[in-house]
Amino acid sequence: MSFLILIRHGQSIWNLEKRFTGWVDVDLTDRGRAEAEKAGLLIKKKNIEIHYYYSSLQLRANNTLKIIQKVLNDKKKFSRAWQLNERHYGNLTGLNKIEMSNKIGEDKVYEIRRSWDVKPEPLDKKNPYHPINIETYNSMAKKDLPDTESLKDTYERVTKYFGQEIEKKLETNNVLISAHGNSIRALCKKLFNLDNNQISNLEIPTGNPLIIELNKKLEIIKCEYLDKERAKSLVVF
């Protein structure tokens, strides 16, 4: 038996401003830091030793994890991987979600945000929000820097990394992943065997640990959000 804990970063500055964030590297708000601290306390109550920690390259996920580790008094180094980054929102990056809904319609925005294989238009490489112009990604190969992504694209990179780097460890170890709404949705699609319609309806709350108990075959025995007041439906459980 092992445990996989998935947590979306606490509220970020652009979450608060209702902007499409994607690969732009913004930090947590005060509320986001408080959510991360509460997450750490809830995990601590479970008294589960975490053997491996993973996060994306992005500040909001990294700082969420650092706060959790501080609460747990755990100084293990964590692995950072661009494959766990948020979905890239193309030319929507930086725009306000409400303003875009008013401009092109709520249905169109929802289709872009939640459909399986629809991509926004690519983001111009001259745009300051393009990953090629963000210092966080200077060490990455240019071929790996996206202009836009669908949820399908995000799913493929996230689950490939999970299969190569994390899955085997879960046979005998407990793992915590601090990532993003869409990278965690992608993992949930794989873990819960969700279809494309189910994944469209899956909401991932900020700063709320989802703890998944697995047997030796990595089959799910039980799963739950630790913050009951902010839990969302898991679709299949």
Question: In this predicted structure, what is the pLDDT of residue 86?
Answer: 98
Residue 99 among the catalytic residues: no
Per-residue pLDDT of the chain (237 residues; tens, 9 = 90+): 899 999 999 999 999 999 999 999 999 999 999 999 999 999 999 999 999 999 999 999 999 999 999 999 999 999 999 999 999 999 999 999 888 888 777 777 777 777 889 899 999 999 999 999 999 999 999 999 999 999 999 999 999 999 999 999 999 999 999 999 999 999 999 999 999 888 877 889 999 999 999 998 889 999 999 999 888 877 554
Report the greatest alpha carbon distance in the chain: 51
Residue 130 among the catalytic residues: no
Which residue, 69, 15, 4, 6, is CA-closest to 40? 69
Question: In this predicted structure, what is the pLDDT of residue 104?
Answer: 77
Multiple choice CATH, 2-158+196-230, 3.40.50.1240, 1.10.10.60, 3.20.20.70, 3.40.140.10: 3.40.50.1240
Given the residues 35, 86, 88, 130, select the one marked as catalytic: 86
Kindly write down the DSSP assignment for every residue of the chain, as one continuous string: -EEEEEEEPPPBHHHHTTB--TT----B-HHHHHHHHHHHHHHHHHT----EEEE-S-HHHHHHHHHHHHHHT-----EE-GGGSPPP-GGGTT-BHHHHHHHH-HHHHHHHHH-SS--PPPPPTTSTTSGGG-GGGTTS-GGG--S---HHHHHHHHHHHIIIIIGGGGGTS-EEEEE-HHHHHHHHHHHTT--HHHHHT----BT--EEEEE-TT--EEEEEES-GGG----S--
Which pair of tokens denotes residue 107? Answer: 């249905």
Question: In this predicted structure, what is the pLDDT of residue 216?
Answer: 86
pTM given for the model? 0.95
Question: In this predicted structure, what is the pLDDT of residue 237?
Answer: 46
Domain ranges, ordered by start, for the chain: 2-158+196-230
Given the residues 9, 88, 130, 180, select the one marked as catalytic: 9
Question: In this predicted structure, what is the pLDDT of residue 115?
Answer: 80
What is d(CA 49, CA 30) in angstroms, rounded to the nearest whole number?
28
Residues 6+ apart with CB under 8 A from 56: 62, 80, 81, 82, 84, 85, 86, 178, 179, 180, 183
Question: In this predicted structure, what is the pLDDT of residue 8?
Answer: 98
In what order do the strands lie in the sheet containing 2-8?
Answer: 79-80, 52-55, 175-179, 2-8, 210-214, 220-225
